[in-house]
Amino acid sequence: MMKRLHKRIPLLLAIMGLSGIGTSAEEPKTKPATAPQQKIEWLSYDAGLAKANRENKPIIIDFTASWCGWCKKMERETFVDPRVVRYMRENYVPIKVWGDDTTRAAMVSHNGERMTQQALSAKVYAVRGYPTFWFLDSQGGRIGPQAGYRAPDQFLALIEYVGGSHYKTMSYESFLQKRAGKG
C-alpha cells in the first residue's frame, strides 16, 4: 500500500501543479488594502473633561495599568468590537488613565490640583483594581464605577445603560430584561 502511494505522489503533485491547487502562482503578490480597523480614540483626562463639557456628552474613564492582563484582553477584544466602537464614538467622550503612571510628564489636573495619573486613580477615584470604569456626566459629575473585565456584549449593554440615561429610571437588571425583550 505504501509503495503504491509513493508512486502516486508525483502524479498527485503534477495534477495539483497543473490545476493550481496548492500553489501560490495564482495568489496576488500583494494583499489588497483593507480599511483601517476602527478603534476608540481615548483622550487624556484634562482633554476629555474639556471636550465633554463642550459637546455635552457623558464621559467614560478607563482606569488601566500597563501590567494588567484583563485590560489588555479588553483592548484586544472589547474595545475593537465595531458595535462598542460605534456606540462609544457617538455617545461618550472616552478617557484613558494609567493607574500605574507616576511620571510628572503625564500629570493631570483635578479641581485645580496637579497630580500623577496614579494619584488620580487611587486618591480621587479610589480605584483598587484594573480595569475599572468610571462614568461621569458631561460636567464631570460622578455617575458611578464598574470594575472588572467585560466581554463585548456585556460592555455594550453597560455603556448603553449609562449612555442612554437608563440608570436614572431603572435598575441594571431591569434594563437587561427590557433590552432582551423580556420586560
Reported as a single tens digit per residue, the pLDDT across 14-45 is 333 333 333 333 333 444 444 445 889 999 99
Four-residue CA torsion sign, 13, 14, 20, 23: positive
120 closest CA partner among 140, 141, 99: 99
pLDDT for res 106: 86
pTM over 0.85, yes/no: no
Interval 60-68 mean pLDDT: 97
For the domain bounded by 45-150, which CATH number is listed? Answer: 3.40.30.10
- Residue ranges per structural domain of the chain: 45-150
pLDDT for res 167: 95
The grid coordinates listed for 155 are: 460592555
- Scored b (16 or more CB within 10 A) or e, 66-102 reads eebeebeebbeebbebeebbebbeebbbbbbbbbebe
CA dihedral 20, 21, 22, 23 (to 10 degrees): 10
HSE, side-chain direction, 13 A CA sphere, residue 150: 18
Length of the chain: 183
Count CB-CB contacts under 10 A for residue 27. Answer: 9
Four-residue CA torsion sign, 135, 163, 161, 38: negative
pLDDT for res 20: 37
Phi-psi region of 128 (alpha: psi -120 to 50; beta: other; left: phi over 0): alpha
183 pLDDT tier (thresholds 50, 70, 90): low
Regarding predicted confidence, which is higher, 5 or 76? 76
Phi-psi region of 134 (alpha: psi -120 to 50; beta: other; left: phi over 0): beta
Regarding predicted confidence, which is higher, 27 or 181? 181
Four-residue CA torsion sign, 73, 78, 82, 87: negative
In this predicted structure, the answer to whether residue 151 has a pLDDT above a threshold of 90 is yes
pLDDT for res 37: 54
Q: Average model confidence (pLDDT) for the chain?
A: 84
Reported as a single tens digit per residue, the pLDDT across 75-124 is 999 999 999 999 999 999 999 999 999 988 789 999 999 999 999 999 99
